[in-house]
Structure 1
Amino acid sequence: MTGIIHIAIVDDHPLFREGVARSLAEIGGFEVVGEGGNAEDAERLVAAKHPDILLLDISMPGGGLAAAASILARHSGQKIVMLTVSETNADVAQALNAGVRGYVLKGVGSKMLAEILHDVFAGESYVSPTLSARLLSDLLQPANRRADPLGLLTDREAGILRLVAEGLSNKEVAGRLALQEKTVKHHMTRVLSKLNVRNRTEAALLMREAKDRTG
């Protein structure tokens, strides 16, 4: 393939950005035109540098998924690849619904990442195989399971919500599960989003109702 593919990398870990940039430089055929560490940087880089492909993390200040949706609303032709550790179906689905071209786990090898970027540049899409298989399985599961919102939760999220439903505070949950309080808060934020409820009280009520149904 001739020509250089221009890449912008936005991730709140500078060492990770440097590693990706170095790997792409060693492989050749890529030029990193800009780097950033948050959603605001991502929007600025797209507007100023017009990269062929924007590599975005999810767990960064401002949120990678929100940044992707905002950027694609303004620049519909921008190719975005999420490069993340998140393996949840909800994140994959939200990213694809926003219009990103790729969803890649951070453990990917540098040569594989380069191939993915070439494919995306050529107009193709890519989702890490383990994630696409899991997402397809979720879509094909019986309708009655999909109708249960608690089925969207990971084991960790469900475990935290059970304790919240018992009346424990975030701090108490953190102590019970040997987690940091901010980690519990992060999980509860995702729980509220997945269950489409406004607060922890409504989420706890759903958990209690589910427990009553199952005895």
Structure 2
Amino acid sequence: MNPTSDADPIRVLIADDHPVFRQGLHGLLDALGVEVVAEAENGPEAVRLAAELQPDVVVMDLHMPGGNGIEATRTLTRTSPRIGVLVLTMFRDDDSVFAAMRAGARGYLLKESGADEISRAVRAVAAGEAIYGPEIARRVLTFFADVPDPKQAAFPQLTDREREVLELIAQGRNNQEIAGVLFLSPKTVRNHVSNIFMKLHVADRAQAIVLAREAGLGTD
């Protein structure tokens, strides 16, 4: 639910250590009909002013002397969860993006963003939505697309075929059933099972099943 209306403008606190940038952003937000309630030049000041003034949105730079934006964001989202934090920074590296997300920021824009993009982001964050600039959104999507399947990451010492056999062992199938599923001879399956036990340092099928299920195999 949007806490604001046309008669009740969005209230914003700007946190940035560059006075010229703060002045420019202040003017831009004024022109967009957004009320700037205060400016802060570091993280602790932003936290103090936000607690006192309770703005709808804090537009937060990340790297400021005297207290960075990540810590300030983490504190604000813990102590004043109603307040949305929109990161507006020049830093586009993955570490900064994901640190801000983990700290609870609802939005992340680069300082090169245009007025329309900043306006849309401020209004979205005030409404409780999450929003990211196009480049940041691509980074986030690429990161999650590249996250390996934990089942594939488990037991890297096994071959693909051995992992298939272990998956079926974890499902409770015996060697004859595994042979039928994988179109292998029972002898070949026995060899794979022996290799699996040796590589996993387990003594029997029961121990192999425990390890496999702890890694998420055999649960589908």
Q: CA RMSD, aligned part only?
A: 1.7
Gaps of 5+ in 1: 148-215
Q: Could you tell me which residue of structure 2 aligns to residue 71 of structure 1?
A: 76
Q: Equivalent of 1:100, from 102, 105, 119?
A: 105
Partner secondary structure for residue 87 of structure 1:
coil
- CA distances 1:30-89 after superposition (whole Å, capped 9, x unpaired): 111000100111111111111110010001021111110012121122211000011011
Q: Distance in 1 between matches of 2:128 and 2:61?
A: 21
Q: Contact conserved, 1:56 with 1:81, CA < 8 A, in 2?
A: yes
Partner amino acid, structure 2, of 1:44: R
Q: Equivalent of 1:39, from 15, 37, 43?
A: 43
Q: Distance in 2 between matches of 1:72 and 1:142?
A: 27
Q: Could you tell me which residue of structure 2 aligns to residue 55 of structure 1?
A: 59
Assess, with a 3 A threshold, how the Cα gap between structure 1 residues 142 and 110 changes in structure 2: closer, same or farther. closer
Q: Contact conserved, 1:10 with 1:42, CA < 8 A, in 2?
A: yes
Partner secondary structure for residue 96 of structure 1:
helix
- CA distances 1:161-187 after superposition (whole Å, capped 9, x unpaired): xxxxxxxxxxxxxxxxxxxxxxxxxxx
Partner amino acid, structure 1, of 2:123: H
Partner amino acid, structure 2, of 1:64: G
Aligned pairs for 1:155-170 (under 5 A) are: none
Partner amino acid, structure 1, of 2:76: I
Assess, with a 3 A threshold, how the Cα gap between structure 1 residues 142 and 112 changes in structure 2: closer, same or farther. closer
How far residue 138 of structure 1 moved from its aligned partner, in angstroms, is: 2.2
Q: Distance in 1 between matches of 2:93 and 2:120?
A: 24
Partner amino acid, structure 2, of 1:7: V
Q: Distance in 1 between matches of 2:139 and 2:44?
A: 31
Partner secondary structure for residue 44 of structure 1:
helix
Q: Could you tell me which residue of structure 2 aligns to residue 187 of structure 1?
A: none
Q: Equivalent of 1:20, from 2, 14, 25?
A: 25
Gaps of 5+ in 2: 154-220
Q: Could you tell me which residue of structure 2 aligns to residue 212 of structure 1?
A: none
Partner amino acid, structure 1, of 2:121: I
Number of matched residues? Answer: 144
Q: TM-score, structure 2 length as denominator?
A: 0.62
Q: Distance in 2 between matches of 1:75 and 1:143?
A: 35
Q: Distance in 2 between matches of 1:141 and 1:112?
A: 27
Partner secondary structure for residue 7 of structure 1:
strand
Q: Contact conserved, 1:27 with 1:111, CA < 8 A, in 2?
A: no
Partner amino acid, structure 2, of 1:121: A
Partner amino acid, structure 2, of 1:81: L
